[in-house]
Structure 1
Amino acid sequence: MLESFVVQEAIRQTTWMDDPVSAGYWRTRDDIEVDLVLERHDGAVVAIEVKAGDHVKRTQLSPLVALRDRLGSSFVAGITFYTGATGYEVDDRIHVLPIERLWT
């Protein structure tokens, strides 16, 4: 339920942008999955994962890392939203943010 809420809110916020954004998800044959992939018309990608919990384990970020490594420079950022209180950068272009940052 939390995942659906965050995904819907993120998609809703893309409607405020000047340029169109396409929304989807990414899944491999090995069942590596990213909850939401937002792509601008120029190919720039932001990927979003959602975790219910007050901390995020590094292993939970592996889908974002896999997508980043696959897309290269078109991968702008990977964000894991969680119910914790602190935002931080974990790796190159991989961030963990509190869900309330959707509105700031």
Structure 2
Amino acid sequence: MGRILDTLVVAQLRAECVVGADMYHLRDANGRRGIDLLIEARDGQIIAIEVKATAAPSREDVRHLEWLHERLGARPAIGLLMHSGPRIFRMAERILAVPIASLWSS
């Protein structure tokens, strides 16, 4: 289920980011840490996104986003944990949990 959700989210965001941003996937050299999606705007702003197939994300689910913030300082504008639950809430400083369904709502 997780890979399907990852693919769905990336495909939707790719359509939204055609102009003005680049998209990347990040893994560290030893493969222990990674970020599902980095969106880098032309001005250098970065949005880091993790996708989780859970309706109840936990602090453990944002550990790689926190790792990236520690490595890059203020450069990531925000970290998003996209989840299958119904609401938006704060997970940590500059890290929000956001429903995947919000990609299709206004």
Q: TM-score, normalised by structure 1?
A: 0.90
CA distance in 2, matches of 1:81, 1:73: 21
Counterpart in 1 of 2:89?
88
CA distance in 2, matches of 1:11, 1:89: 25
Counterpart in 1 of 2:21?
21
**CA shift digits 1:56-78 (9 cap, x unpaired):** 11111011111111111211011
Query: Once the 2 structures are TM-superposed, how far is the Cα of residue 29 of structure 1 from its aligned partner?
Result: 2.5
Query: Once the 2 structures are TM-superposed, how far is the Cα of residue 91 of structure 1 from its aligned partner?
Result: 1.1
Identity level (%): 29
CA distance in 1, matches of 2:72, 2:5: 27
Q: Which sections of structure 1, spanning at least 5 residues, go unmatched?
A: none
**CA shift digits 1:19-57 (9 cap, x unpaired):** x20100111134201100000122110011111111111
> How is 1:23-102 mapped onto 2 (pairs within 5 angstroms)?
23-30=23-30, 31-102=32-103
CA distance in 2, matches of 1:92, 1:2: 25
CA distance in 1, matches of 2:56, 2:46: 25
SS of equivalent residue, structure 1 residue 54:
coil
Q: TM-score, normalised by structure 2?
A: 0.88
SS of equivalent residue, structure 2 residue 79:
strand
CA distance in 2, matches of 1:41, 1:91: 26
The alignment's C-alpha RMSD in Å is 1.2
CA distance in 2, matches of 1:44, 1:64: 15
Q: Which sections of structure 2, spanning at least 5 residues, go unmatched?
A: none
Counterpart in 2 of 1:6?
9
